[in-house]
């Protein structure tokens, strides 16, 4: 497995790989890898000749009071896990390497960013679009792999690729969970022992909400009751929307999503489902 830190070295690898006719699967990450990332790698390996992983904590998607400096980092551990999983190359640039100039051109996620996490994190998804656009151009992958846990991000990136005719496919990979249902996340390490015991209630509330929604009931009041009675977290949002266009009053394909703030960790989770199936 190679590790490159510069755009120039990455371009050399991409040129050599594409000239030899090999397909590239891209797994973009911010590091501190867990089983969810490994599922992305597994999916990429199954469909491509080589797998490129980016490890870059992107400052453009963090707000002024968010946890950029505190975001967990362990490159040595990440590189060992990536190599074991079969990654062929890691692109791990510095912030200066990734953003050498103050760009006067900005990107906007538009209406898709006005709900769910985007509502309370203005500019977050603009920063996501900035970094994935650069990665798509630099790596030139045949496909890029994203987890459904970050469902709003996934919908926005799918829209970007569709609307601007990027020549790659976006692959959705199902959320990987702990045995008790908690979605795998790099931020789970911030949970106290008591919060970790409470956190699976988020997924259980989502499961109850999907059942209620399919039966024609408003799922949100009962979900609020369950989370407030069973956890110490503060609800940021619970929303039922169409997917992937994220509009109110879904008719068929829907997403039930939530965000809950614990003392040092903000957890998100969702279920994407068909309202008409039982």
Please identify every residue annotated as catalytic. 37
Annotated binding site for ATP: 30-37, 147-150, 176, 184-187
Closest CA to 236 of 213, 212, 260: 260
Annotated binding site for (R)-pantoate: 61, 153
Rg (CA), the chain: 19
Helices (H), 20-123: 35-47, 75-85, 95-98, 116-120
Closest CA to 63 of 136, 12, 118, 5: 118
Residues 6+ away with beta carbon under 8 Å from 148 = 154, 172, 173, 174, 175, 270, 272
DSSP one-letter code for 61: G
Annotated binding site: 30-37, 61, 147-150, 153, 176, 184-187
Annotated binding site for beta-alanine: 61
Q: Give the integer Cα–Cα distance in Å for 221 and 233.
A: 16
Q: Give the integer Cα–Cα distance in Å for 240 and 250.
A: 8
Q: Give the integer Cα–Cα distance in Å for 185 and 176.
A: 9
Compute φ and ψ for 262, nearest 5 degrees: -95, -175
Q: Is 165 left (phi over 0), alpha (psi -120 to 50) or beta?
A: left
Judge whether 31 and 78 are in contact, CB under 8 Å.
yes
Q: Give the integer Cα–Cα distance in Å for 260 and 278.
A: 27
């Amino acid at each position: 497995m190679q590790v490159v830190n510069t755009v120039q070295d990455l371009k050399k690898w991409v040129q050599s790989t594409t000239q030899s006719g090999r397909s590239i699967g891209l797994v973009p990450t911010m590091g501190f890898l867990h089983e969810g990332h490994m599922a992305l790698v597994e999916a990429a390996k199954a469909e491509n000749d080589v797998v490129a992983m980016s490890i870059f904590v992107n400052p453009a998607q963090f707000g002024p009071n968010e946890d950029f400096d505190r975001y967990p980092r362990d490159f040595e551990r990440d590189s060992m896990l990536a190599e074991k999983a079969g990654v062929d190359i890691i692109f791990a640039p510095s912030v200066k390497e990734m953003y050498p100039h103050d760009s006067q051109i900005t990107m906007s996620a538009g209406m898709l960013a006005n709900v769910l996490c985007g509502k309370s994190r203005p500019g977050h998804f603009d920063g996501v679009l900035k970094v994935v656009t650069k990665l798509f151009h630099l790596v030139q992958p045949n496909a890029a792999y994203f987890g459904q846990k970050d469902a709003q991000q996934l919908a926005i990136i799918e829209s970007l690729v569709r609307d601007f005719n990027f020549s790659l496919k976006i692959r959705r990979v199902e959320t990987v969970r702990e045995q008790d249902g908690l979605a795998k996340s790099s931020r789970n390490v911030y949970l106290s022992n008591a919060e970790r015991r409470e956190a699976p209630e988020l997924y259980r509330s989502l499961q109850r909400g999907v059942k209620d929604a399919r039966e024609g009931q408003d799922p949100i009041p009962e979900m609020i009751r369950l989370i407030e009675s069973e956890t110490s977290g503060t609800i940021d949002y619970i929303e039922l929307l169409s997917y992937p266009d994220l509009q109110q009053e879904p008719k068929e394909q829907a997403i039930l999503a939530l965000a809950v703030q614990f003392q040092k960790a903000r957890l998100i989770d969702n279920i994407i489902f068909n309202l008409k199936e039982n």
